[in-house]
Structure 1
Amino acid sequence: MAKKTAAQRLAELELLQAQLKQQQKQEDRRKAYKLGEYVREHMPDLEKSPEFLSWLKTDIDRSLFGAPSSDEPKKAEPQPKATAIQNKPTVAPAATTTKVPESIMNRFKQVDEKNDASPDSIRARLSNLRPTKSA
């Protein structure tokens, strides 16, 4: 059997590291999903509770649950009189999210994997730069 070159071993290690990173992300996603499933089953009215709605920080999160955004007036505030002149700045509509094409997402993943700054990845790249001893 032919001996593998340092570049081949480095490529295998980087592939393994990327697979482990992807597996960890999948496990984290599954944990979050299961936690949410448990909360929905045992606390069905949680998403309507004032404590939960006040816990949400961003307008995007608040809009998911039908809570008013932070810049919307609260219902308890008195309505302004019709004779008063209002000089409030207009608020731009919230940005809509669009799906990023799969080809672009794959390219981002490739760049992210290549720019890994973990100590193991740096050591592997440095060992690839050193001249190897030939037998």
Structure 2
Amino acid sequence: MAEEQRESNKKVILGDYALDIDVSSALTGLKAVKRCANEAVQAMEKLDDYSGKASFLQLGDMIRIGSLEAFSTEELHEELAKREGVQEVIVDNHRTMYLQTAIGAGGSIPVSGPARILINKD
């Protein structure tokens, strides 16, 4: 307690005058800054641990750490559907659509709804 008293109250003598200066609020603020700095260092160390193991991926406005597996199939589909050169075909519930296989192969693939099909023309 006495050591705390000495740390937060400083006595300054200027000629015939003596001043008691209370710096406890400044010390409290500095301790808070130190805690925040330590937290930032820990976060940077954690980020260093990720480097080389994973990468930051951005898909639209979504950011994930890892690989494409970090995104759901729905998120990937939504992003691809927005792209130029990609066409989306929607098969409604209780409907069936037939996709023709390669020309000359003479077959088709039935697709029952609900389904969303992406056609990449790039």
Query: Shorter-chain TM-score: what band?
Result: 0.3 to 0.5
What TM-score do the two structures reach when normalised by structure 1? 0.33
Would you tell me which structure has more strand in proportion to its own residues? 2
Higher relative contact order (CA 8 A, sep 6+): 1
Per the normalisation by structure 2, the TM-score is: 0.36
Instruction: Give 1 or 2 for the bigger CA radius of gyration.
Output: 2
